[in-house]
Amino acid sequence: MFGYYLDLAWHSLKRSPVLTALMVLAIGLGIGASMTMITVLHVMSGDPLPERSSTIYAPHLNPLPLDFHQNPYAPDPAASFTWPDAMALLKAHRAEHQAVMAGGQLLVRPDQAGLHPFYANGRFTTNEFFSMFGVPMLRGGGWSAADDDTLVRSVVLAETLSRRLFGTIDSVGRSVSLGNTTFRVIGVARDWQPRPLFYADTTAKVFSDSDLFFLPLSTSIDLKFGSNGNESSWGGSSIDMKSSTMSWLQVWVQLRNVSQASAYRQFLMDYSAQQKSLGHFQRSPEEATLTPLIVWLKQRNLVPSDVRMQLWLALGFLLVCMINIAALLLAKFLRRSGEVSVRRALGAKRRDIFFQLGIESALIGVAGGVLGLLITQLGLLSVRHRSDDYAKLAQMDTPMLLATLLLAIVASVLAGLIPAWHTCRVAPALQLTTQ
Amino acid sequence: MQIRLILATLRHHRLTAALLMLQVALTCAIVCNVVFMIIDRVGQISIATGVDESGLSMLDSEVIDASENTLARQQQDLAALRRLPGVTSAVAVDSLPLGRDESSYGACASLAQFERLASTRSLDQSGCLQPAVLGGTAGELNTLGLHLVEGRDFHQDEFVKGDAVAVAILSRALAEKFYPGKDALGQTIITGSRKPVRIIGIVDTLVRPKLNAFGSNQLAMLWPMPPDSRSTTFLLRSTPQDRHAVLQLAVSQLMRIEPNRIIAPELVRTYSDMRKAYFEHDTTMISLLASSGLGLLFVTALGITGLANFWVQQRTRTIGIRRAIGATRGDILRYFQTENFLIVSFGIVLGMLLAFALNLTLMKFYELPRLPLYYLPIGALLLWILGQLAVLGPALRAAAVPPVVATRSV
């Protein structure tokens, strides 16, 4: 029966090729626009650490005084940690793994002839960073907890930077000049670019920035490297990286299960209460929170409002296209009332007619989906030419490809629903007599 | 008479007609808002900076030897740049209008206000402002091509190292904010150093490096303060056609006199390039808005034409009969035109309500202003014209149906 209906639908569509083409074009345009934006949103809401994201948590403390006035144009200082708080959480070692970090930009001065000095972005952090996030190492490894205290001048390079400086030779054990200081390379990490780069501070371009080196945080403070992220100070104007009134550090922890998480949450509140009783904090300990990475990403709302508007625009366009197709299909189906009534008189049930017309709509959907796929590729190509940091990520993957076809078929079947329902109610006898 | 007939027919096809009306309504609502957003964005990207942009170009140079005397190096570099053929003036600056990197200072008209600002750390109700400060070497005013409306440029001896300046040149908007209704020239303002800074000049227009931060875009001032960091922006003025040649020469000359520096190639550019990059988001958004608006109108026109074609085919026999009993071609043509006018009109009425609802939603989420009322008649007119154009072909075909069709059996 399905084959027969398909045949009927094909013939019906062939009978009015222009109208069919219009409908396919409309659904193709609507699907193309929508899927371009849905794909952009899809790549922007990806999981940065697919295997371990459920165990990674963002702790949060609020050391700001009660009368602190938040400038609406400035980032929230409490989004980062002060040095004393970050170090207290690190040394307490209450989580499975914990690391403190800040972004930095350093001048790289290659020894090799023919290479000009250049700037590279990297991360100043503590030793558990690598094991907590599962940074894949090509050669060598990170540093020890003891190294964090002894201000060692060791660095882990990303593969890209190692290749740029040393070519294909093993760079472990060699030295490199970063920020006018000589560091010894102790490891080379595979180019590891979680998207979004969630652990960077709020000023980072989380969809395009990546770290080319990792070196101990204590060493970076000792050498006065300074961070390239946001540094917010609320007590006096002097800039002291170890001050308890300047926030600039990010802290992440890994917790194996729910009970560990609730214990850690309690620990954060206890710490805040203790700081409050010491007079360091002014706010309620309840303001200390612990947020799972995935929830935290949702709260940070990394999708720019323009992209959101583009999505709504595309979906509005699709809706108008669907209504357009519904009207055209209705006219087309009603015109075949005669044929329908004959089939009804010959014994076809309403649902047979409904099914037959539904297949005709679906066929338009399949054609529109294929066209929509092409238009989506064009749309994504234009997105990749934008200068936004997410631009390079706009690629279609298999789930999105299938979603495009599915959405096209669903949209056209939905659009065909009212016309098919309306048409299948044609009474058999009445139409036969008028003919 | 004709209208009653049309309404009766439409009642017969009420579902189809209703779908078409709904499509017209949604198109009307979306297109009104899209046009409004386009005009809003075009307004943003055509902002006047006050800078004479046509002959301006720039590059960033950073000396990487920490021991070097940056100000001496800057003077030497500037002298070399000024000698280049085609360069009419050259200065070193720390920031530029639309340059994105901005330093801003809390500033007040009186010391009392400033103390209040310092103690509350809140600009609200302090009477103080947070203007952007643009520092540069002597000649910045002329190299930028700013239009001085009152007062004078800085004197050579007014340039200081660090930010303890004694004089400043303000944008007119900033001067009026500090001294509303009074002549601000010669008055003073107080900033971080708590020493009075005298206003010695007022320029017509000057925008901040970063728009939409700290209130008005026009809150900016020039300070006689040469950039004292290892990274410096050199600003070059030449004729517009010389810009690229001058930039190339400048890079090779600077590298020749001191090879130990970094000149980022992507920051060697004309002012127009920088402006284009600054507004690239908005330009993308404008073209997307425009293409989706046009796409909607196109699809709606297709829908109207497709449906009208169908109805004409369906009613060929009826049209023949009407022709046979005396209706003229004009009657038939007008019939279809009026029918379309009615459907589109109903759609527009609903569309206006939807346009307002959509605008209210956008105002809530996107800080968009209220849709002005005059958009509605314009939107209505646009859709009426679109509807009439789309229906013209099928209506002409209907009018061409000969009366003899009535006598043929189906």
- What is this structure's pTM? 0.85
What residues of B are in contact with residue A316 (Cβ under 8 Å)?
26, 30
Give the count of Cβ contacts less than 8 A between chain A and B. Answer: 109
- The residue of chain A nearest to residue B123, with distances taken between CA atoms, is A71
pLDDT tens string, chain A, 435 residues long: the values are 778 888 888 888 888 888 888 889 999 999 999 999 999 999 888 899 988 999 999 999 999 998 887 777 778 889 999 999 999 999 999 999 999 999 999 999 888 777 888 899 999 999 999 999 999 999 999 999 999 999 999 999 999 999 999 988 899 999 999 998 999 999 999 998 898 999 998 888 888 888 999 999 999 999 999 898 888 888 766 678 888 889 999 999 999 999 999 999 999 999 999 999 998 899 999 999 999 999 999 998 888 888 988 999 999 999 999 999 998 888 888 878 778 888 888 888 888 888 888 888 888 888 999 999 999 999 999 999 888 888 888 888 888 889 888 998 899 888 888 888 888 887 775 545 554
**What Cα–Cα distance (Å) separates residue B183 from each residue in B37, B57, B361?**
38, 34, 43
Nearest to B307 among A328, A388, A422 (CB): A328
Put simply, whether B218 touches A (Cβ < 8 Å) is no
Q: Which two tokens stand for residue A307?
A: 């992209």
Put simply, whether B27 touches A (Cβ < 8 Å) is yes
Put simply, whether A421 touches B (Cβ < 8 Å) is no
What residues of A are in contact with residue B16 (Cβ under 8 Å)?
327, 330-331, 334
**A305/B366 CB distance under 8 A:** yes
Put simply, whether B309 touches A (Cβ < 8 Å) is yes
CB B196 within 8 A of CB B164: no
Beta-carbon contacts of A158 under 8 Å, excluding residues fewer than 6 positions away, are A188, A189, A190, A191, A192, A210, A211, A212, A213
**What Cα–Cα distance (Å) separates residue B6 from each residue in B184, B333, B337, B341, B397?**
70, 13, 10, 11, 18
- The residue of chain A nearest to residue B301, with distances taken between CA atoms, is A324
Put simply, whether B277 touches A (Cβ < 8 Å) is yes
Put simply, whether A381 touches B (Cβ < 8 Å) is no
**B288/A107 CB distance under 8 A:** no
Q: What are the φ/ψ torsions at residue B296 (nearest 5 degrees)?
A: -60, -45
CA distance B270 to chain A (A): 18
Q: Which two tokens stand for residue B336?
A: 């279809």
Put simply, whether A306 touches B (Cβ < 8 Å) is yes
Beta-carbon contacts of A173 under 8 Å, excluding residues fewer than 6 positions away, are A184, A185
Region of A331 (left: φ > 0; alpha: ψ -120 to 50; beta: rest) is alpha
Cα–Cα distance for residue pair A92/A60, rounded to 1 Å: 15
Cα–Cα distance for residue pair A118/A108, rounded to 1 Å: 5
Q: Which two tokens stand for residue A116?
A: 């000009």
pLDDT at B213: 66
pLDDT at A435: 45
**B292/A326 CB distance under 8 A:** no
pLDDT at B1: 53
Interface of A with B in 241-300 (CB under 8 A): none
Residue B160's Cβ-count burial label (10 Å; 0-12, 13-18, 19+) is middle
Nearest to B292 among A18, A33, A334 (CB): A33
pLDDT at B81: 96
pLDDT at A249: 95
Looking at this protein, which amino acid is placed at residue A2?
F
Interface of B with A in 91-150 (CB under 8 A): 120-124
A86-131 pLDDT, tens digit per residue, is 999 999 999 999 999 999 999 998 887 778 888 999 999 999 999 9
Cα–Cα distance for residue pair B265/A251, rounded to 1 Å: 35
Nearest to B303 among A73, A316, A328 (CB): A328
Nearest to A73 among B19, B122, B214 (CB): B214
Put simply, whether A370 touches B (Cβ < 8 Å) is no
Q: Find the DSSP H helices in A116-255.
A: 129-133, 145-149, 159-166, 217-222
**B303/A117 CB distance under 8 A:** no
Interface of A with B in 197-236 (CB under 8 A): 234
What residues of B are in contact with residue A328 (Cβ under 8 Å)?
303, 306-307, 310
CA distance A37 to chain B (A): 12
Nearest partner of B186 among B172, B197, B171, judged by Cα: B197
Nearest to B292 among A69, A180, A317 (CB): A317
The pLDDT averaged over each successive group of 10 residues in chain B (410 residues) is 77 86 94 93 92 95 81 92 95 94 88 83 78 94 95 94 90 93 92 90 94 80 90 94 95 91 92 94 91 92 87 86 89 90 93 92 84 89 93 92 74
Q: Find the DSSP H helices in A236-392.
A: 258-277, 293-300, 305-335, 337-345, 350-384
Q: From start to end of A110-212, where are the E strands? A: 118-125, 137-140, 154-158, 175-178, 181-189
Cα–Cα distance for residue pair A156/A145, rounded to 1 Å: 15
